[in-house]
Amino acid sequence: MKDLVKSRTGSITIASMVKRGPIAEKTIVVTGAAGGLGVAISHALRTAGHRVVGVDLQGADERLDVTDPDACRALARRVTPDVWINNAGVLGAGSAADQPDAEIRRVVEVNLLGVIWGSRAALEVMRPRGTGHVINIGSYSSWITPFGQSVYSASKHGVRAFTVGLAAESKDSGIDFSLISPDGIWTPMLHDRVDDDMAAMSFTSPKLLTPEEVAAVVLDVVGRPRLHVMVPQARGLGARLVGLIPQANVIVTRILAARGRQVQAKMRRDRLPKGAGR
């Protein structure tokens, strides 16, 4: 397990971010805050001195269904956040031709519409102030379409397009927009996918990211807003290049999926825990 989640993000850590000195406390909404990356992001932000309102269907500070636009607006009006982080997401790996309709609808509604509703709710309270920051958690799948994750990838491609488009539309508003696109992360989203061949593309790297590594990057972006960050950057460049050429995407992702299945097999042989870390 230690080898599979070894650090791949360089020197950025939560501790190093906190040591940079005093910060201006911000009120920050984090969606999908009940487990995995959401827990790590919330912890990193609180450690740095921010006020965090973590939301999820259960197990967070407050309940919020991100697919409900009215509920998102009500929360934003009451909390008036300085930063809104759209982190909630589901994987939904499987053949797009065979996945149940309900599963496809859930992936699109949570991953894409949830980001749209959350962003719009945040903007409603940020625009009159002329300041604010919306951070959307994308994925390498925002750029490359993984074999076996077509619907998930489509939702993340949509998140990228929406974030960039909204940044253009709001250029002179005083509001910052950021898209953070991580590689595979060892969270509950993947814990139950070790035996799923259709999720193999999430395991293509032998060094899965930890939630804490990605949370450190999120904390860095809160303090230094920029439009797009890939985690890690080097491997992300390859994903972007492959994504530019559809035929290359088709060929390369099938090869990578085979590599991912090998990693999954190793994880099964090593009897790695599937439910830890939540």
Look at phi and psi of residue 43 and say left if phi exceeds 0, alpha if psi is from -120 to 50, else beta.
alpha
Q: State yes or no: pLDDT of 67 exceeds 70.
A: yes
Residues 99-132 pLDDT 10s: 999 999 999 999 999 999 999 999 999 999 999 9
Between 169 and 204, the higher pLDDT residue: 169
> Which segments of 137-197 does DSSP mark as H helices, in order?
150-169, 188-191
Burial track 146-184 (b if 16+ CB lie within 10 A, e otherwise): bbbbbbbbbbbbbbbebbeebbeebeebebbbbbbbbbb
Of residues 205 and 86, more confidently modeled: 86
Q: What is the DSSP letter of 19?
A: T
Tell me the per-residue pLDDT of 149-163, one tens digit each, with 9 for 90 and over.
899 999 999 999 999
| Res 34 pLDDT > 50 | yes
Distance between CA atoms of residues 21 and 39, nearest Å: 23
Please tell me the distance from the alpha carbon of residue 92 to that of residue 24, in angstroms, as a whole number. Answer: 38
Task: Specify the amino acid at residue 269.
Answer: R
| CATH class, 14-269 region | alpha beta
**Helices 114-126, 150-169: inter-axial angle, 10-degree rounding:** 20
pLDDT in tens, 173-194: 999 999 999 988 887 777 777 7
- CA-wise closest residue to 13 among 33, 43, 36: 43
- Is residue 277 over pLDDT 80? no
Tens digits of residue pLDDT in 255-269: 877 777 877 778 778
Handedness of CA 136, 140, 144, 148 (dihedral sign): negative
- Tell me which residue has tokens 């390859």: 238
Q: What is the pLDDT of residue 16?
A: 52
- Return the domain boundaries, the chain: 14-269
- Please report, rounded to a whole number, the percentage of residues in the chain having pLDDT higher than 90: 60
- Average pLDDT on 210-221 reads 97
Q: How many angstroms separate the first and last alpha carbons of the chain?
A: 16
Confidence of residue 7 (pLDDT cuts 50, 70, 90): very low
